[in-house]
Amino acid sequence: MNDTTPEAVSKGEPADSRLGQILLETGKIKDRDVEQILHLAKKKGLHFGEAAVKLKLTTRDDIEHALARQFQYPYLREGEGGFGKELVAAYKPFTPKVEALRVLRSQLMLRWFSAGHKSLAIVSSGRHEGRSYLAANLAVVFSQLGDRTLLVDADLKYPRQHQIFRLENSPGLSPTLVGRTSGKLVVCGIPQFKNLSILPAGTPPPNPDELLARDELEQIRTQLIAEYDVVIFDTPAGTTGGGAEIVASRCGGALMVARRNRTSLSDARAFTERLRSRTEWVGSVLNRF
C-alpha cells in the first residue's frame, strides 16, 4: 500500500487531515513535527506521508498502518493480538501470499457468494495440507472487506482455529450439538477485526462424525447464515472419517485444498469423487506455502 491515493493527505492539505490525525493519535509524529512535514511536502510536491518518511520522523510501515486505518482496512503489526504466525492476512497483508488470498476471495464472491450462498466448507483429503490455514486467512480477508464473517471450526477431532486465534476452545460447536449450551451459540468476537467472529470446535468428542451428522448442525448453520454474510467451515480431513462430506453437504458447496509435494493423488481423487456425490464442487486450491 502506498500513500499516493486521492484520499491520502495531499499537497497543501491542512495538518488536521485524517492521516496526520492518525499519526498524531498513535504517537508516530509529534505536534511540533507537523509544520516541518507540511513545509517539505509543499516545497517538494510530496504527499504528507512521503514527506514525513523523508524527514525520518516516521517509517514506511507506520504510514501503511495509518493508511490502513484511514481506509478501514484493519491489519496488525507483528506481535499484536498474539495470533499465530500463520495468520498472514492479519500480519502481512501486502505480500504475494495475501494478494493470492484476495484473488481467491474475489473468485469466491463471483462464483459462490454472489449467487446467494452464505456458507462454504473448506476441505482437504488429508491432514497438514493447509485447510485450517486457508480457512483462517480467508475469514480475515472477507472480514477486511466489511462482510460480517464467521469462521466455524467443525474439525471436532483435531481442532486448530482456537490455537491460531489464541482462544479458549469452549464452549464451542461440539457441546452445542449435544444441547449442553441450551441451544445458545457462543461465538468469540475478534476485537482487532470488528467484522470477524469465531465459533471454536469445543472439547473433542469420542464420536465426531456422529455429532456432525445430527440435524442440529443444519439448525446451527441456518441460524448462522441469518446473522452473518459469510460463514466459513473448517472441516475434518477426508482421511479421518466422513465429517468433511457431512459438513460440505450441509453447506451446499466445498472448496478443496491440496498441498504441493504432500497431498496423495489417489487420496485426493477418491475424496473428490465422494464429495461430488454429496455437494457442489466450488473449486480447488493448490497450497504451496
Per-residue pLDDT tens for 166-223? Answer: 999 988 999 999 988 776 788 999 998 989 999 999 999 999 999 999 999 999 999 9
Per-residue pLDDT for 72 more than 70?
A: no
**Torsion angles phi and psi, residue 234, rounded to 5:** -85, 130
Does residue 52 register a pLDDT over 70? yes
Supply the pLDDT for residue 230: 98
pLDDT band of residue 80 (cuts 50, 70, 90) is confident
The structural architecture, per CATH, of the domain 80-287 is: 3-Layer(aba) Sandwich (3.40)
What does the alpha-carbon distance between residue 164 and residue 133 come to, in Å, rounded to a whole number? 8
Confidence of residue 42 (pLDDT cuts 50, 70, 90): confident
Separation between Cα atoms, residue 157 and residue 235, nearest integer Å: 10
pLDDT of residue 67: 62
Domain ranges of the chain: 18-70, 80-287
Ramachandran region of residue 183, left (φ > 0), alpha (ψ -120 to 50) or beta? left
Question: What percentage of the chain carries pLDDT values higher than 90?
Answer: 56
Which one has a higher pLDDT value, 132 or 19?
132
pLDDT on residue 71: 53
Whole-number Cα distances in Å, 43 to 8, 9, 33, 39, 183 = 18, 15, 16, 6, 64
43 pLDDT above the threshold of 90 = no
Is the pLDDT score of 58 beyond 90? no
Residue 82 has what pLDDT?
Answer: 87
Question: Rounded to an integer, what distance in angstroms lies between the CA atom of residue 272 and that of residue 289?
Answer: 22
54-63, 72-81, 132-141, 250-259: which range is least confident on average?
Answer: 72-81
Q: How many residues does the chain have?
A: 289
Of 62 and 239, the structure prediction assigns the larger pLDDT to: 239
Single-letter amino acid, residue 254: A
Residue 115 one-letter amino acid: A
pLDDT of residue 31: 83
pLDDT of residue 30 exceeding 70: yes
**What would the mean pLDDT of 120-130 be, rounded to a whole number?**
95
Per-residue model confidence (pLDDT) at position 1: 37
* Predicted local confidence at residue 23, as pLDDT: 77
Residue of 179 and 98 predicted with greater confidence: 98
List of residues 6+ apart from 54 with CB closer than 8 A: 40, 44, 46
Calculate mean pLDDT across residues 79-97. Answer: 88
Average pLDDT, the chain: 86
